[in-house]
Chains A and B, each alone.
Chain A
Amino acid sequence: MKNFFITFFSILFFSQASFALVKIDITRGNLEPLPTAVSKFYIEDPSKFSEELKKLNLEKKISETISNNLKRSGLFYIIDPKSYIQSPNIAHVKPTFQDWALIKAQIMVSGKLVIDEQKRLRVEFRLWDVVGGKEIEGLALFATPQSWRRIAHIISDKIYERMTGESGYFDTRIIYVAESGPKDQRVKKLAIMDQDGSNNKYLTLGNELVLTPRFSPTAQMITYMSYFKNLPRVYLLNIETGLQEVVGDFPGMTFAPRFSPDGKKIIMSFAKDGNSDIYTMDLSSRVVEQLTTHPSIDTSPSYSSDGKYITFNSDRSGSQQIYVMRSDGSNVNRISFGEGLYGTPVWSPRGDLIAFTKIFKGNFYIGVMRSDGSGERLLTQNFYQEAPSWSPNGRVLIFYREKKSGKSGTGGESSLWSIDLTGYNERKINTPTDASDPAWSGLLSK
């Protein structure tokens, strides 16, 4: 767990206020990705780089990481670096825009690496509007050389933000359940990685079944469900210290936990005598509050981003459907009325939409609807997929899929996928093992 969190010493902006001629509209799908050149970053004074540092190959790795981030967003098309004419240092200091226009680049990213007296890595980046012929963004970051990846993610966010007008989601992490073994004896471990799949780490050993981890929006904490000592309960895990604790003192199964948007409460289901209801527990006062009292299954609760409402699924109508209520448990309203079953509602961080899983005629769909139930839109269909989680900017959903399996436990592979809110840009997220139950963190450098 050590070195897991990187300290940034300072962030210095020297951006000039100027308008770009090129801009990306991300509210529509099916758009042409923006032709983008990402020049290799250059080392200003190689003599300051130790042999060890040189081996990190940062000038290549940083630009590659930025390129991969931008490419995966589906909004940028990265022009093959082999066609770049200018050397990285000229591109960064005084680019000749005609050379970049020639290869049809509309924007260009350049950068410089310096090791300062305190042995810190200083990364300077510039974003150039090739069409308008000017610099539109610039940033310098200091960090330990080992944390170069986060610098690349922060730069990627800056580019995304400048070109779309919305905050990015690259400097984030994914918590998920790593799976191995046959389906009837699946071993499950908590795992955490950067949003691009790098820095994968396991947080539990797999001795007990663990499910549905979710990040705290405010602290380095996650909440999840564990069958520790064969008692299925909701737990808290501090990912910096590795300390775990059970949430509350419930005489039965607690499950489906999430944090409130202020990070002060856990909302979850508690099952007692065959009836699952929704409860909250205040993490500092430990006060427990019961929010639903219906003799049906009420589970998968998720707060609205302002904390005023809660969405959840219930089978009180006779089938699994989505409901919205006030955060005190009053004014319960059903919002899903389409054909089929609806589950795992999760409120967008932007506040406008609820993402869900829909089960209809033997297929599973990930979709979104407005919080009053109108405007239902299905984004993707599969044999089995569920549990969407939003990127912090509310533009991308991550979820998991499971393939069909055979009698002998073969097949049944589970994997993580992401899709844009537009329904485009569906992508598999590579993980070292099978994976399920993904949840997206907030921006780390917020």
Chain B
Amino acid sequence: MLTKSLKNAFLVIALGIFISACSTTAQKKTDDADVYTGTDTVKFLATGVADRVFFGTNSSRLTTAAKATLDKQADYIKSSKISVVIEGHADERGTREYNLALGERRANTVSDYLMTKGIAKTSIKVISYGKERPVNTDSSALAWSQNRRSVTVKSN
């Protein structure tokens, strides 16, 4: 009896997972599938204010987690009245020139988001390093996800 109800519950959960999986695959393939979510390589602008956000392969879309990080950065930049440079980076799995453009696009996505949070355009600079400055030199999916990043650096 108990096992049967457990079985049923399991089936319901499994179905639920199946359906939600269907709904995401039916949409445009999500960009966020391989976004790094860990904390290795992350440094801090101030206590609790992470300096970087991560991106999916060939994507410059900000994840919910990235937006939460940038919200904290925006508060910190406003309160401490600093200027910042946003460095955009790409992993090593693309052509060099495209990666330069992609790093620039990522840095600008971050810069645009910070501006919507009230940071003045004049206190943000962007620079792209393409694939030239990896933070993790390993040729692995983990390293590539850590390298697809934008880093906010204090400039004064």
Contacts and interface: CB of A to CB of B under 8 A. Distances in A.
The finding on whether chains A and B are genuine partners in a shared complex, rather than unrelated, reads: yes
Interface of A: 182-184, 186, 209, 211-212, 225, 230, 232, 253, 255-256, 269, 271, 273-276, 297, 299-300, 313, 315, 319-320, 341, 343-344, 357, 359, 362, 383-384, 386-387, 402, 404-409, 411-412, 437
Interface string B66-103: 00000000000000000000000000111111101110
A253 B104 contact: yes
B136 interface: yes
B152 interface: no
B144 to A, nearest CB: 11
B137 A253 contact: no
Contact of B95 (A209, A343, A405, A412): A343
Given A182-B137, A253-B127, A274-B108, A212 B60 contact: no
Contacts of A404: 139
B141 to A, nearest CB: 10
8 contacts: A212-B96, A256-B97, A297-B105, A300-B97, A315-B58, A320-B94, A343-B98, A408-B137
A359 B132 contact: no
Nearest to B110: A274
B97 A269 contact: yes
Given A319-B58, A343-B95, A297 B102 contact: yes
A286 B105 CA distance: 27
B138 A407 contact: yes
Contacts of B138: 405-407
Contacts of B109: 274
Contacts of A300: 95, 97-98
Residue from the set B104, B127, B132, B135 with the largest chain A CB neighbour count within 10 Å: B104
A443 B60 CA distance: 42
B128 interface: yes
B120 to A, nearest CB: 15
B98 A405 contact: no
A407 B137 contact: yes
Range, interface on chain B: 20 to 34
A183 B134 contact: yes
Contacts of B96: 211-212, 386-387, 437
Contacts of B60: 274
Contacts of B93: 359, 362, 384
Given A274-B108, A299-B98, A299-B101, A230 B137 contact: no
B154 interface: no
A299 B101 CA distance: 8
Given A184-B133, A405-B138, A232 B100 contact: yes
A181 B52 CA distance: 25
Contacts of A184: 133-135, 137
Contacts of A341: 58, 94
A84 B34 CA distance: 63
A375 B139 CA distance: 33
Contacts of A408: 137
B137 A344 contact: no
B57 to A, nearest CB: 10
A233 to B, nearest CB: 11
Contacts of A182: 137
B108 A344 contact: no
B139 A412 contact: yes
B143 interface: yes
Contacts of A407: 136-138, 143
A384 B98 contact: no
A359 B105 contact: no
A380 to B, nearest CB: 15
B148 to A, nearest CB: 15
Contacts of A402: 92
Residue from the set B60, B94, B100, B135 with the largest chain A CB neighbour count within 10 Å: B100
A406 B127 contact: no
Contacts of B108: 273-274
Nearest to A273: B108
Given A230-B127, A274-B104, A343-B97, 6 more contacts: A232-B100, A253-B100, A275-B105, A343-B94, A407-B143, A412-B139
B46 to A, nearest CB: 24
B51 to A, nearest CB: 16
A276 B60 CA distance: 14
Given A182-B137, A230-B127, A232-B127, A269 B95 contact: no
Contacts of B58: 315, 319-320, 341
Given A315-B58, A407-B143, A274 B112 contact: yes
